[in-house]
Amino acid sequence: MSSTTVFQHRIPIHFCPELFGEYLSYVEGLDLDACSQVCHYWREPAMSARLRTVDADDEVQLALLQHDSRRLRYVRNLIGDTWSPFTTAFTSYPVHLRTLVVRGTDFVATKEQINEAIIAFSGTITTFIIQNSLRMSYQDFCGMLQSLAHCKLLRTLTLPPPAREVNDHSSHQQRADGAHAAIHAMTRVEEERPKVVFLQLVPLSHRHDPKYTGKAAYAQEYEWLDRHKCPFDLSELATLVVGAASAAQILFPSISEHLTRLELCLPFDNRTAWTEYETLTGAPIIMPALRYLGLTFHIRPSNWLLDVIRTPAVKTICIKWNTSILYSTYWTQFRSIDNQISRLDDGHIFPQHLSDIHLLTIFCPDVQWCAQAFPICSHSGVNVSSSIGSW
């Protein structure tokens, strides 16, 4: 290598900071470590990108933070497990943390294991997510909700219902009574409740079985969503992703005004799940700001929702399903949904802003089939299309 080449490689490599940050957002792991070794000017931006999301089980990331505690200022997102409290990984806490993610577990978790992290970062987090299942008692679940109520900046919340513990042999009614007692034991602070704008309520796999769907014992688990009991301010909720009809019908009366996006994910939707169906069909919930409506199912298309709401401003409806059943099987159901869509305006007429209906599935019906499956919408100028989805 010539001396000229060596000299050229010693010259700091400069990029526009904004462009460099955008570039680093596409680089991961060891490649970011390599970038941090290029030169002094690359080191801090690369280290910032490397530590923006920290996994409490990642020994390399933890070593980088422990080597220099000043790097804690880079951490924005933290991921950890319930059985290995992630607060013990730090000598001091990241002061700019925004997102706290708990993976969820099949092991029995206690309120204290999660609450320790919630309380530690309560002053900064805007997003709290529990992935997968959460195996804890309902009393502990309510205690966790109360801890989250102290996170005044909280805006995004993703929760599964608590899973039944392995050694819990109580009856449906006993669990319902326990859930009811736990809700009433909660102390709600009327002022300065976190103003949540995104709420995702994930169903558990065992509730996919239709025999569980209409049980009052399971409906009790969502009693905390009632406006008079909820520890969060949901009055300005903009996005709701919900996997239980019992939760949806509790929420709708109090969130209808500001909701712009609604996704109903019911793998097995049936009539008995909508215990307030008769009341709601007599006086449907009007959602004047709703622009996007998503319906996800597994075997039978979810359509009961379309009878209990009115969405005069809806622009896009997306229907998703992931099954090997051929799409032609759903011809009759889609024709029925087409008719229901035509009455989604609060005047029981066709919603004038509706422009797209999209079918997302493992198969891809052609344009002609889509138009014939939704004749009213197609004749009203709505673009009915399909594509292959990935789950």
Instruction: Give pLDDT < 50 ranges for the chain.
Output: 1-11, 166, 169, 171-174, 180, 206-217
What tens digit of pLDDT does each residue of 68-79 get? 888 888 889 999
Q: Say what the pLDDT of residue 287 is.
A: 97
105, two tokens: 């577990």
What letter represents residue 307's amino acid?
D
What tens digit of pLDDT does each residue of 257-268 get? 999 999 999 877
Query: Position of tokens 């789950």?
Result: 391
Q: Where in the chain is the domain with CATH 3.80.10?
A: 53-388
In 3D, which of 163, 293, 154, 305 has the Cα closest to residue 230?
Answer: 154
Q: How far apart are CA 256 and CA 237, in angstroms?
A: 8
pTM of the complete model: 0.84
What letter represents residue 160's amino acid?
P
**Is 3.80.10 the CATH number for 53-388?**
yes
**The three-state (H, E, C) secondary structure of the chain, written as one string:** CCHHHHHHHHCCCCCCHHHHHHHHCCCCHHHHHHHHCCCHHHHHHHHHHHCCEEECCCHHHHHHHHHCHHHHHHCCEEEECCCCCHHHHCCCCCCCCCEEEECCECCCCCHHHHHHHHHHCCCCCCEEEECCCECCCHHHHHHHHHHHCCCCCCCEEEECCECCCCCCCCCHHHHHHHHHHHHHHCCCCCCCCCECCEEEECCCHHHHCHHHHCCHHHHHHHHHHCCCCCCCECCCCCEEEECCHHHHHHHHHHHCCCCCEEEEECCCCCHHHCCCHHHHHHCCEECCCCCEEEEEECCCCCCCHHHHEECCCCCEEEEEECCCCCHHHHHHHHHHHHHHHCCCCCCCCCCCCCCEEEEEECCCCCHHHHHHHCHHHHHCCCEEEEEECCC
Q: Say what the pLDDT of residue 155 is.
A: 98
Q: Say what the pLDDT of residue 372 is.
A: 95
Q: Say what the pLDDT of residue 11 is.
A: 44
Exposed/middle/buried for 265, CB within 10 Å: 0-12, 13-18, 19+?
buried
Q: How far apart are CA 177 and CA 229, in angstroms?
A: 16
- Is-contact 139 183, C-beta < 8 A? no
Strands 198-201 and 261-265 come out as: unpaired
